[in-house]
Amino acid sequence: MKQNVGGIDRALRIIVGIVLLAAFFMLPEAGYRWFLLIGIVPLATGLMGSCPAYSIFGLSTCKLKS
């Protein structure tokens, strides 16, 4: 897959993903706990550097390589 996630975007995705997954494990009794697993998505896209939604809409936060 082509990289389309830039540095700051990538770092924010990883941080948000880790925070959501940490909340999943820290809130065992919460009824909405399972929704926190959505943190897998930003974590995965941040680690891979590629976002399928960006590809669909033709977006990119990566700097162009000249």
Measured CA to CA, the distance from residue 65 to residue 48 in angstroms comes to 18
Q: 17: domain range?
A: 1-29
pTM (two decimals):
0.87
The reply to whether 53 falls in a domain is: no
Q: What are phi and psi of 65, to 5 degrees?
A: -95, 120
Confidence at residue 65, expressed as pLDDT on a 0 to 100 scale: 61
Question: Do 54 and 60 meet the contact criterion of CB atoms below 8 Å apart?
Answer: yes
If pLDDT is split at 50, 70 and 90, which confidence band does 66 have? very low
What's the total number of domains in the chain? 1
Measured CA to CA, the distance from residue 48 to residue 13 in angstroms comes to 11
Give per-residue pLDDT as tens, 37-65: 999 999 999 999 999 999 999 999 998 66
For the chain, state the CA radius of gyration: 14
CB neighbour class for 13 (10 Å; exposed up to 12, middle 13-18, buried from 19)? buried
The reply to whether 17 falls in a domain is: yes
Give per-residue pLDDT as tens, 11-36: 999 999 999 999 999 998 888 899 99
